[in-house]
Structure 1
Amino acid sequence: MVVVAGLGAAVGALGRYGVTRLVQRVYGNYWPLATLLINWLGCALLGGLTGWQVGHLMTVLIGTGVLGGFTTFSTFSHEVVMLADQRRFGAVLGYVSLSVGGGLLLAAGGLWLGLHLH
């Protein structure tokens, strides 16, 4: 299972890198939009995976591996600290609120969808 999780994590990390580069190329890097979108997508997909009730192997591969490598709490935390260091407190409040609130709503929505597609 360790190899399965590791392979999934490699795929997820490459996906995160690609999405980050694409979003930053299109929208710039003034506000952490890439990390927000990545984490939102990960919340929705993990909620859906949970609701769909896949087997242990798929949970390790996709949930722990791919989505664990794709989403990133450490980058989110770093970006919050950097915005605060720049004294962009409105951006901090907005980013934290959107990340946590949106993530919870998307996880719940993904769970609901997964349960109904199962």
Structure 2
Amino acid sequence: MWRTLLLVAVGGGIGSALRYLTSVFVGKCFAGSLPVATFLANLIGCFAIGLLMGYFLKTQTDDSQMRFLLVTGFCGGYTTFSAFAFENVTLIQQHNYTAAFGYIALSVVLGLAAVWCGLVLNR
């Protein structure tokens, strides 16, 4: 259990640091009121989870340690559902309903598509 916890923590730390760098970079490129950095991080994270899980399923690799490091840790640290929820509540409180519901719809639809693409690339 301690080894698994360490793997999740290391993966999560790396994912969180990369998430921060994504915010910094995207913030410089797309200044505005729309939460582009969270949107991109969640899509990239969905794609990465699809790609990784597709690989594990395709190769029938039962390397749970790598899954804890990469999927639970890294992808969990990189993606940001709590930030996504907060940003949508903020948009709704600002009466920016079109942006909020567009963001929600696009995140869900494109997130599912990104996972599917990651899985397909492993076929």
After the TM superposition, which segments of 4 or more aligned residues of structure 1 sit over 3 Å from their partners?
none
AA aligned to 1:50 is M
Partner of 2:82: 74
Q: Which runs of 5+ in 1 are unaligned?
A: none
- Give the stretch that moved more between structures: 37-46 or 48-57: 48-57
Secondary structure of the corresponding residue to residue 36 of structure 1: helix
| Alignment counterpart, residue 24 of structure 1, candidates 18, 22, 27 | 27
In the superposition, the TM-score normalised over structure 2's length comes to 0.90
Structure 1 Cα separation of the partners of residues 85 and 102 of structure 2: 14
**How far is 1:113 from its partner?**
1.1
Count residues with an aligned counterpart: 115
**How far is 1:29 from its partner?**
3.7
**How far is 1:80 from its partner?**
0.3
**How far is 1:57 from its partner?**
1.4
| Alignment counterpart, residue 37 of structure 2, candidates 18, 34, 39 | 34
Residues 1-118 of structure 1: pairs in structure 2 closer than 5 A: 1-53=4-56, 54=61, 55-114=63-122, 116=123
AA aligned to 2:34 is W
In the superposition, the TM-score normalised over structure 1's length comes to 0.94
Secondary structure of the corresponding residue to residue 121 of structure 2: helix
Identity of aligned residues (%): 36
Q: Which runs of 5+ in 2 are unaligned?
A: none
What's the C-alpha RMSD, in Å, of the aligned pairs?
0.9
